[in-house]
Amino acid sequence: MTVQVQEAQIENIIQQVMAQLQVNGNQQGAMPRAAQYRGVFPTADEAVRAAHTALDCFGRVSLTQRKAIVKAMREIAIENAQKLAQLAYDETGKGRVSDKVLKNLLCAEKTPGVEFLPTDAYVGDDGLTLEENAPFGVVLAITPVTNPTSTIINNAISMVAAGNAVVFAPHPASQKSSLATMDLLNEAIVGAGGPQNLLVAVQEASIQVANELMNHPQIPLICTTGGPAVVTASLSCGKRAIGAAAGNPPALVDDTADPQKAARDIILGHSFDNNMPCTSEKEVIVTSGIADALMNAFRQADNAHVLDPALLPQLEAIVLNEKRSGPNPKYIGKNACVMLAELGIAADEHIRAIIVEVDINHPFVRHEMMMPVLGVVRVRDFEDGVNAAVEVEAGLRHSAIIHSSNIYHMSEFGRAINTTIFVKNAPSFAGLGFGGEGHTSFTIAGRTGEGMTTCRTFTRIRRCALVGAFSAV
């Protein structure tokens, strides 16, 4: 009996010590293990089952309370924007912390909520018919390494505002920061009177887990934000899928543009979070009449470095993969000064972009580099510029930018490029609502046509008809 008591006492002491260590670790900013996050489960089946249980409870929550839950999610995301940005950077080593903070705040503040869910009514001799936005149920959200915390915030607010539960499948390289974001949002949901496990994930992120979730019979809707391969996989599941894939946004500068402003805007948009957003300027097409002025404006900018063309082969050897078919993964999301240092050029983090003139077939133009290396292509005139921009955008229908004072040129280019986001005379991020009007989204479903997703995207139309009552006469 004494031995049993002693063993029990020892076990109790161990538990107390471990609990204290966990508290101290958290106080020092250490991230808990995946299993310690709210809403994290060992298997896909357990995660989906928990989400369905939460959904049953959430379905009985009033619309007023749902609004309060979304409000709490916004507030906790704003309060922790800096912390989450740092976690994402520490885990991935990509981008800029200051820009990630802005992305987190943008998604917390400008992702549409319940107010975006309209109800239509039809009244006549035959009665009253209502059409309302009903939730799908449990939505699978596959999220990228490029914008992990901001995409989680954006998707969670949109999908919960629509009345859904969410299973997240984060990119394996950004699992910890993604789960930490989900954990905080779950805390806000419960604190505002919502159910536990409205947001869930599987403990270990992997391609296998993502595939299992995509094919899970109790998940009716998939939302994928990522590269072409994962979007294609989600579209092949036989379910409704919303696909937000990569883009290659061109910035067209014509002879009527203000070269100084165009240069400033392009540098800011291109270098935002080191070119990680899929909306960022990936290449510049400039007409011959203004090309020299634009290049001079780039040279005069104190936050960019115009590369000596003689150093182009060296830069290519550093930032391109062996097949020259895309970026060297080592440099994705890295600061410009890192690559300049490889070339023997001293620069600090204030330098946001490397700019170099190339021809239209150069890999810097044809491939999404996701790093602050910007290829500039000269063309003869506006017509050639439009044709070149359409060619390099490659039908992705994602984003495009124009700098011009000719409204007819803006309209013509907009019709020709036909992208989901079209920005005029501003940095690309204006199209996300940052420095521009309108709501934001970090799941831009150009491939499947939903465009800038909102809570409405994650609903289905439900019709309710009442005959013989509430008629017009």
Tell me if 333 sits within 8 A of 94, measured CB to CB.
yes
CA distance 367 to 67: 42
CATH number (domain holding residue 55): 3.40.605.10
261 and 314 both lie in a single domain:
yes
Token reading at 192: 């505002």
167 and 220 both lie in a single domain:
yes
- pLDDT for position 222: 98
178 and 85 both lie in a single domain:
yes
- pLDDT for position 12: 47
Task: Judge whether 22 lies within some domain.
Answer: no
Task: Judge whether 311 lies within some domain.
Answer: yes
88 and 192 both lie in a single domain:
yes
269 and 137 both lie in a single domain:
no
Domain C-terminal end among 224, 246, 268: 246
Buried b (16+ CB within 10 A) or exposed e, 4-13: eeeeeeeeee
Q: Phi and psi dihedrals of 340, rounded to 5?
A: -65, -35
137 and 195 both lie in a single domain:
yes
184 and 84 both lie in a single domain:
yes
Domain C-terminal end among 218, 246, 274: 246
264 and 372 both lie in a single domain:
yes
Q: Tell me how many domains the chain contains.
A: 2
Task: Judge whether 413 lies within some domain.
Answer: yes
CA angle 54, 159, 439 (to 5 degrees): 155
Task: Judge whether 351 lies within some domain.
Answer: yes
Task: Judge whether 3 lies within some domain.
Answer: no
User: Helix, strand, or coil here: 272?
Assistant: helix
Domain C-terminal end among 246, 270, 291: 246
157 and 72 both lie in a single domain:
yes
Tell me if 459 sits within 8 A of 135, measured CB to CB.
yes
Task: Judge whether 117 lies within some domain.
Answer: yes
235 and 254 both lie in a single domain:
no
- pLDDT for position 34: 58
Alpha helices per DSSP H over 30-111: 44-58, 63-79, 81-92, 97-110
Task: Judge whether 447 lies within some domain.
Answer: no
238 and 316 both lie in a single domain:
no
Interhelix angle 259-271/288-300, nearest 10 degrees: 60
CATH number (domain holding residue 372): 3.40.309.10
Parallel, antiparallel or unpaired: strands 127-135 and 120-124: antiparallel
Per-residue pLDDT 10s for the chain (473 aa) are: 333 434 444 344 334 433 433 333 333 344 455 558 999 999 999 999 999 999 999 999 999 999 999 999 999 999 999 999 999 999 999 999 999 999 999 999 999 999 999 899 999 888 999 999 999 999 999 999 999 999 999 999 999 999 999 999 999 999 999 999 999 999 999 999 999 999 999 999 999 999 999 999 999 999 999 988 999 999 999 999 999 988 999 999 999 999 999 999 999 999 999 999 999 999 999 999 999 999 999 999 999 999 999 999 999 999 999 999 999 999 999 999 999 999 999 999 999 999 999 999 999 999 999 999 999 999 999 999 999 999 999 999 999 999 999 999 999 999 999 999 999 999 999 999 999 999 999 999 999 999 999 999 999 999 999 998 776 55
222 and 266 both lie in a single domain:
no
User: Helix, strand, or coil here: 117?
Assistant: coil
Domain of residue 110, residue span: 36-246
Beta strands in 301-367 (DSSP E): 304-306, 353-357
Instruction: Give residues with Cβ within 8 angstroms of 341, minimum separation 6.
Output: 347
Task: Judge whether 283 lies within some domain.
Answer: yes
